[in-house]
Structure 1
Amino acid sequence: MRTDIFARLDREPEPPKIEIPRMSRTRLALFGGTSAFYAAIVVAVLASTWLVALDWKVMLFRPFEQWPQPHAFLDYFVVLGQRGPTAVMVAAWLGWRSWRQHTLRPLLALGAALLLLNVTVGAVKIGLGRLGPHYATEIGSAELFAGGDIFPSGHTANAVVTWGILAYLATTPRARRYLSALSAVVSLGVGLTTVYIGTHWLSDVLLGWAAGLLILLGLPWCEPVIARAEVWLLGLRDRWRARRAPEPPLPVAAGAPRPDPVPQRELVSQVESGAAAQEHAPRHAGARSGGASRTATHTPVAAPVRPHPGRSERSPVSPTGSRRPPHSRPLPGA
């Protein structure tokens, strides 16, 4: 029994039509406002403004030393922002959704969001090269272009995208509200936890929230590409299954001879074994009474199986006369 996801999708009934989010005016306004906030954070850090000074105040305050009690719990909680574990958990849930809804769109939307996250956040991280609080060298400095990779916060942006995609793919308004609240709590908690344990500046977390939200807000622009990718993958699945399917037997016309049931390899082996037996068979000589003739005994060769001819293909037989050949043995006393 096949257990691949495509086979399970084929066995599921067609779901009701799923409403795909579109780029509305409200979404465009939120995208523009988030983009302005993103640019303002970058400019504030590049210019070493009050935001950089606030970063240093929070870091020197050392929250994990002021409140050490939740430190052990938050070390585990921050895993909800790591890309590997969260991607596996959310992909498992969306795989089940794909099975139930008879579509690959949930998994493809997750893949597109994570791809955009890696490209955009990774490019800014490498381009700005900011060092983290544990590796800072000069108090009051923005620590930019020093070979770091913590601006924006990858944990925070990943938490926004990975858990926010669940609300983005929700099929009912109630589920969308609950999942939006859940993703907001997890994203805020992961971002503040990185500041608490001292792995990120506060400005890193602010930019991470903005980066993840921009990806979720702009995801409807990727829906046409997701739809084409789904059609291509399902078509590839159908072609692969067609190549693996056994070929149907060719029809045989009425009255035509049926194909030889014995494979050709068996016929060849029978002929070769018969020829070898004939070549190595012992020959016996014997003298008949009054004659000088010798008779050699030969091992019979198995003739290849021939198809049984139809009635219309048989040669006519005369009703009179004998069909046996004339007697060739000499009469006694001859």
Structure 2
Amino acid sequence: MRTERNLTRLDRVFARLDREPERPALIDVPKMSRHRVALLTGTLAFYLAIVWAVVTTSWLVRLDWQVMFFRPYQQWSHIHWFVDYYVVLGQRGPTAVMVAAWLGWRSWRQHTLRPLLTLGTSLLLLNITVGAAKIGMGRLGPHYATTIGSNEMGLGGDIFPSGHTANAVVTWGILAYLASTPRARRWLSALSAVTALGVGMATVYLGTHWLSDVLLGWAAGLLVLLALPWCEPLIARAEVALFDLRDRWRARGTAPAPAPAAPAGSPVLLKPRATATSPQDEAAARGTAASSSRTARGPAYLSQGPHTARSERTPVTPVGSRRPPQSDRVTRGAAASTARPVPGA
């Protein structure tokens, strides 16, 4: 009795790494549902509330100064080395390379460019929105503050909102956005939220950002993720255009070579042009072809006619005839045709 071998975890991992034979028919693409619209509206309201609280120098600004004077990096100096490494998870360069490598493998495995195009779209939206807010509000960081208790707005800084925090939300949250199953989406959403929360707190610990910067960075990154379904039609059109460009490029590389041109001065054979003929002309042409085939049935030395005796034939050799010409010799056929004299005539 033959039994099948049970697959181990390593076998399942290698099977997962194999490329699928074709693109999956059902790819879960998030849509802009009512629930997502409600979350987007609430996040946008939270974003505007944080900005208003900082601009009006409210209790949030006083909390920022209290945390700054507390100096967490001095209170818990024994974890400083770990926080220095952990905050790299919010830097755009290293995180973009790691996530792009993973999504590139998924694009190759599933025969689709959507993961990479979605990552590029999210990073572009992040750079535009967060960059514009940083330059527009110009807030200085804790290490460069000039007046105690002020909001430090409009002084040429670029730390409001926190770029590290917003980048951590988008870069790690895109993995949950592109998850294949609802279960994987829930687990990756929780993991990306914890990672982004840790990165934000790490910047506050190091004193590079105010607490309000981190709050606004979380909201800015979440707004980008919630707005991505509006970009899905554009991503789909870009994917189709790129695949069409790839197919045209491949077809150009495999095009058959053109036939060599005829040398100058060589004769050109043209097919005779067919002309309309009457039934009488066609019958006459068939009769002419039949007569010509009968006349040219065989070579000249086999043609029909009066046969001569072997002794009267002139032997022919490659170098000519060896018999001297005899002009007074008459062939049998000619002698038979002349009238003989009648005796006694």
TM-score of the aligned structures, taking structure 2 as reference length: 0.70
Amino acid at match of 1:238: D
In 2, the alpha carbon distance for the partners of 1:247 and 1:140 equals 76
CA distance in structure 1 between the partners assigned to 2:62 and 2:143 by the alignment = 16
Matched residues, number = 254
Contact 1:117 1:212 in 2 (8 A): yes
* Equivalence for 1:13: 22
| Structural mapping, 1:190-229, within 5 Å | 190-229=199-238
Q: Please list, as runs of the form range in 1=range in 2, the aligned pairs for 1:79-228 lying within 5 A after superposition.
A: 79-228=88-237
1:43-82 pair list within 5 angstroms: 43-82=52-91
Deviation of residue 12 (structure 1)? 3.9
Give the one of 47, 51, 63 matched to 1:38.
47
| Matched-pair contact (CA < 8 Å) for 1:12–1:99 | no
Return the alpha-carbon distance in structure 2 between the equivalents of residues 99 and 41 of structure 1: 42
1:256 is matched with none
Deviation, structure 1 residue 248: 5.7
Deviation string 1:29-81 (CA, Å, 9 cap, x unpaired) is 11010000000000000001000000000001000000001110110100000
Question: Who wins on radius of gyration, i.e. which is larger?
Answer: 2
1:332 alignment counterpart: none
> 5+ residue gaps in structure 2?
1-17, 270-298, 302-345
Shift of 1:249: 6.8
Contact kept in structure 1, 2:20 and 2:109, CA below 8 Å: no
Question: How many angstroms does 1:319 deviate by?
Answer: 6.5
Question: How far is 1:246 from its partner?
Answer: 3.5
Q: Given that residues 72 and 205 in structure 2 are in contact (C-alpha distance below 8 angstroms), is that contact kept between their aligned partners in structure 1?
A: yes
What TM-score does the superposition give when structure 1 sets the normalisation length?
0.72
Contact 2:107–2:116 (CA<8 Å) still a contact in 1? Answer: yes
Q: Which amino acid in the other structure matches residue 67 of structure 1?
A: W
Q: CA RMSD in A?
A: 2.5
State the identity as a percent.
72
From 254, 268, 278, the counterpart of 1:245 = 254
Go from structure 1 to structure 2 and tell me whether the alpha carbon gap of 1:231 and 1:65 turns closer, same or farther (over 3 Å shift): same
Task: Report Cα offsets for 1:143-179 as digits up to 9, x if no partner.
Answer: 1111100000000000000000000000101111111
Please give the per-residue CA displacement for 1:158-208, whole angstroms capped at 9, x wherever unaligned: 000000000000010111111111101110000000000000000000000
Q: Given the superposition, is the C-alpha separation of residues 246 and 79 from structure 1 closer, same or farther in structure 2, using an over 3 Å criterion?
A: same
Q: How far apart, in 1, do the equivalents of 2:200 and 2:73 lie?
A: 14
